[in-house]
Amino acid sequence: MTKFDVSRFLKSFFAGLENASGTGRKPLRGTEIKSFMDLISSLKQDLPLSIPLLRSLAALSSGKSREPDLLQRRIERRYRRICKISSELGRLDFRKAGPGMSPEDYVFSQIDFSWYKKIEEKEFDTLFPEGLADFSEAFYKRNFSIGRDETETVIKESYRKEENFYIIQRENPLILSIMRSLDTSLESVNLFTTEELRGELNNLLDFVEEEKSRKKLLAGMERFYHLLVSGLDGKNIIHEDGMTTTLFIRPTGDLSGTFRPGNKPWTLVLIPAK
């Protein structure tokens, strides 16, 4: 497909999206969204075009998601955190709590912080640095009193690589708390956002040199986002350990995932309904 063909399709698609946003207008059909996904899938990987989210959505929509792509990695990290929490909860025996010890104190006393002192390279690379983007700036400020960039600096300065491991050099409560949160916190941001989509669509328009299409793109952005979220209903993600997570839309409109740590269902909201 030539740049001209891509440009023509985008003009038609976003014009339809803008028209469908009006009251009483006929909504876009699933086949039209499929056409957009097919367009993204047809774009060669070696093009000078940064659209990893759109490529990931297209692959997942077609059932031909390639490993590892952007959404696969994001969902995999959430799954690993759930697995860690589920495993730790399964080992707790509150009968062993000391006299007067609160449940919260007992849970904290059972955390094995030694794992964060020497982390296998693959596990470390899963958590860091890409995993930092799973949490909001407010999350870092609230929990560590520093921002995301400062958190990244703390991690870089606290670990050194030795063969296939990352070894902690400056052990202190802050770095242990940071790594523990990256490993287990479920306070994640949305799986993807309208801002991400807008950025990638702008990259796509830059590629085909369509400055005039931007207003139409922005006009239909919210609707486009919701259509893409809805398109994930019923999709399955197969994790590295072979377990499957099923994505679904709740009656409330939330995009959720049913994960199966230890083959036990655990549901997590991935994109709340607006």
Give 172-192 pLDDT, tens digit per residue: 999 999 999 999 999 999 999
Q: What's the predicted TM-score (pTM) here?
A: 0.89
Q: C-alpha distances in angstroms, 97 versus 85, 90, 91?
A: 19, 15, 13
Beta-carbon neighbour count of residue 96 at 10 Å? 10
Q: Are 16 and 223 in contact (CB under 8 A)?
A: no
Q: Are strands 118-120 and 165-168 parallel, antiparallel or unpaired?
A: antiparallel
pLDDT of residue 141: 97
What integer is the mean pLDDT of 73-81? Answer: 96
pLDDT of residue 24 exceeding 60, the answer is: no
147, 154 Cβ separation under 8 angstroms: no
Range of lowest pLDDT (77-86, 202-211, 256-265): 202-211
pLDDT tens digits, residue range 233-255? 999 999 999 999 999 999 999 99
pLDDT of residue 66: 64
Q: How far is residue 263's CA from residue 257's CA, in Å, rounded to a whole number?
A: 14
What pLDDT, in 10s, does the model give residues 119-162?
999 999 988 999 999 999 999 999 999 999 999 999 999 999 99
Would you say residue 8 has pLDDT above 70? yes
31: left (phi over 0), alpha (psi -120 to 50) or beta: alpha
